[in-house]
Amino acid sequence: MSTMRELTYLEAVRECMSQEMRVNEDVFIMGEDIGLYGGAFGVTRGMLEEFGKERVRNTPISEAAIAGAAVGAAMTGMRPIVELQFSDFITIATDQIVNQAAKNRYMFGGKGKVPLVLRTPSGSGTGAAAQHSQSLEAWMAHIPGLKVIQPSTAYDAKGLLKAAIDDDNPVIFYEHKLLYRTKGHVPEESYSLPIGKADIKRSGTDVTIVATAIMVHKALQAAVELEKDGISVEIIDPRTLVPLDIETIVESVKKTGRLVVVHEAVKRGGFGGEIASLIAESEAFDYLDAPIKRLGGKSVPIPYNPVLEKAAIPQELDIIQAVKETVFRR
Amino acid sequence: MITNINVPPMITEKKLVELYHQMWLIRFFDEKVDEFFAKGLIHGTTHLCVGQEASAAGAIAVLEDRDKITSTHRGHGHCIAKGAEANRMMAELFGRVTGYCRGKGGSMHIADVDKGNLGANGIVGGGIPIAVGSALTSQMKKLGYVTMCFFGDGATNEGSFHEAVNMAAIWNLPVVFVCENNQYGMSGPVKDMVKVANIADRAAAYGIPGKVVDGNDIFAMMNVTHEAVERARRGEGPTLIEAKTYRWKGHSKSDAKKYRTRDEEMDWRNNRDPIERMKRVLISEGIVSEQEAAQLEADARQEIENAVKFAEESPMPPLEILEEDVYA
């Protein structure tokens, strides 16, 4: 049965792009080594053969020009998908994303639109060290005019990517590298998930964990352990940071009275601070039985050594400990 | 009949008269803006193209309506040449809701997407990759339009210039790069900031033609851009044109111009004024009389006065629009 079919996250992303490119001539993909090579992580493998080099457009190593050409193409009627080889390279494409794509419509008084998707692998865990392992989503979430998506499962990746491609705004789509090989149930037919709708990945009553990207999986593992100690954990995956479905988080915190926020990105200035603040400002504040806890990466560049690399970001045990501190606080 | 002057085939006598009038419009527009800034009637900042009228008017004269442009922070001339209304431009500088950007963009962000103007740009070199993307749309959808990309001498030291020109070159995209070399990037003389003698020499690095042209000679501008536009339309790829010109005013409103001499300024004003040069040709060719030329100048002056009146009488934007149009 096709409904029970499993795909990897990577295959789900590819399938979505291929399905959209089959039905919409305006959709094309551009990026470094996405042609014959199939992309640095193999996401576009086979797409050149199906769609040809015009629509699976291999670019020079020119992140500013790639992003800018996508902006120009989007403004004039195309719906480009950019594959930015590593999300760290957003630093070299930032002018076009932040100063151009995000602002054009507003600056021009509501004229024109920039329907582009920038897909990019983020996160640590591959031993690629400080310049190929960052989680910089808070930067993009700070910019009015951009939408920011961080899917954690193959199912979410396919549905949210379709929504991103259909969206008339610039969308930054973060794909965690370690999730590429994870498998999940993915329907074969094309489907769209709403941008701005959180997903409750596990229902519980004692504590709410808001987790993003790979931390959703670490939180799910932690929840299994915590259940053995009689702690019932609710896990909310915002899936999209901008727009953020704060209502779902507020409702959950009103129910559990406790909140732990966890992301891989550096804790200082990370998006967890925004979520914690929104809860502190919301009606859920009166329901809190313990201070909000935030878990995030340490304030260090991601190191090369695998032991150090792991220690730089929250792990399952850190989540378990944080939840226990929250739940058993007197 | 145009006999003694060399112009592209689509340029009629009527068009030449329009261009003469248009150059005055550009000059009076920016002189009026300068005056209002000095009086404190317009806020923010602005970059004026007085003295550079021929490069904007001449280059855009050879485009078709369907063709597109990207402009720069010094972009009022490009806007007018691509068909923008002085009324709505002036209203934008006055921050009025009738302006091209409803008062949200100001001088550096005037765009007229409907007329193919993809926008001025506050980031030096920011529009160059965007022009390449616009050209990519034309090529992929086989739309046949050409994108003309304006930028200054300073922008050619930005990475975006080199990345974008290379990309356009390898894909033979229908784009024409027009560098308006006005001799200074803010206070930096081009001779101190660029090692090659001509910015057009940089074209060789990308395997595309590079052309140097007198940017204050509207006829030369039309001819060199026409050739490049035709080449782009035939699918043969981009050209880099360097128009040598000079901005009469400072970089922006607060510029003491310590980096250049008053003698140099007077030389460009007195001996290389693009409008005066065109007028001499039009009169010697019998296309306009002295009297007609004076009338065209007076008409342009009046149109700018009307634009000011339109702007002054236009309403301020209501606060409700503050959060509109962040997203489509």
Tens digits of pLDDT across chain B (328 residues): 677 899 999 999 999 999 999 999 999 999 999 999 988 888 888 899 999 999 999 999 999 999 999 999 999 999 999 999 999 999 999 999 999 999 999 999 999 888 999 999 999 999 999 999 999 999 999 999 999 999 999 999 999 999 999 999 999 999 999 999 999 999 999 999 999 999 999 999 999 999 999 999 999 999 999 999 999 999 999 999 999 999 999 988 778 899 999 999 999 999 999 999 999 999 999 999 999 999 999 999 999 999 999 999 999 999 999 999 999 9
**Min CA distance, A327 vs chain B (Å)?**
40
Q: Are A196 and A167 in contact (CB under 8 A)?
A: no
Band of residue A3 on the pLDDT scale cut at 50, 70, 90: low
**Separation between Cα atoms, residue A317 and residue A310, nearest integer Å:** 12
C-alpha angle B229/B10/B26, rounded to 5°? 80
**Separation between Cα atoms, residue B215 and residue A91, nearest integer Å:** 36
Chain B residues near residue A67 by CB distance under 8 angstroms: 129
Chain B residues near residue A73 by CB distance under 8 angstroms: 133-134, 136-137, 140
**Separation between Cα atoms, residue B297 and residue B291, nearest integer Å:** 10
Average the pLDDT over A12-24 and give the result.
98
Q: Does A240 touch chain B (CB under 8 A)?
A: no
**Separation between Cα atoms, residue A172 and residue B48, nearest integer Å:** 36
Q: Does A326 touch chain B (CB under 8 A)?
A: no
Q: Are A235 and A206 in contact (CB under 8 A)?
A: no
Q: Are A286 and A279 in contact (CB under 8 A)?
A: no
Q: Which residues 111-170 in chain B show a CB within 8 A of chain A?
A: 111-114, 118-119, 121-123, 126, 128-138, 140-141, 147, 159-160, 163-164, 166-167, 170
* Nearest CA-CA partner of A252 in A234, A238, A239, A232: A234
Contact A72 B135 (CB under 8 A): yes
The predicted structure's pLDDT at residue B171 = 98
Q: Are B325 and A109 in contact (CB under 8 A)?
A: yes
Question: Which one of B72, B130, B146, B170 makes the best mutation probe of the A interface by having the most chain A beta carbons within 10 Å?
Answer: B130
- Backbone dihedral angles phi then psi of residue A195, each to the nearest 5 degrees: -80, 120
* Nearest CA-CA partner of A79 in A183, A164, A203: A164
Residue A232 CB contacts under 8 Å (≥ 6 apart), including other chains? A204, A205, A206, A207
What tens digit of pLDDT does each residue of A230-258 get? 999 999 999 999 999 999 999 999 999 99
Nearest CA in chain B to A75: B134
What's the whole-model pTM score?
0.96
Residue among A73, A80, A112 minimizing CB distance to B113:
A112
* Nearest CA-CA partner of A172 in A214, A133, A215, A136: A136
**Separation between Cα atoms, residue B81 and residue B56, nearest integer Å:** 7
Average the pLDDT over A28-33 and give the result.
98
For the purposes of burial, counting CB atoms within 10 Å of the CB of B291, is it exposed (0-12), middle (13-18) or buried (19 or more)? exposed
- Longest alpha-carbon distance in chain A: 63
Contact B111 A67 (CB under 8 A): no
Contact B114 A111 (CB under 8 A): yes
The predicted structure's pLDDT at residue A4 = 82
| Terminal Cα-to-Cα distance of chain B (whole angstroms) | 50
**Separation between Cα atoms, residue A26 and residue A190, nearest integer Å:** 17
Nearest CA in chain B to A147: B327
Task: Count the neighbouring beta carbons within 10 Å of the beta carbon of residue A168.
Answer: 14
Task: Count the neighbouring beta carbons within 10 Å of the beta carbon of residue B71.
Answer: 29
Helix A9-23 to helix A154-166 angle (10° resolution) is 30
Q: Does B299 touch chain A (CB under 8 A)?
A: no
φ/ψ region of B311 (left if φ > 0, alpha if ψ in -120 to 50, else beta) reads alpha
**Separation between Cα atoms, residue A242 and residue B301, nearest integer Å:** 49
ipTM over 0.90: yes
Residue B284 CB contacts under 8 Å (≥ 6 apart), including other chains? none
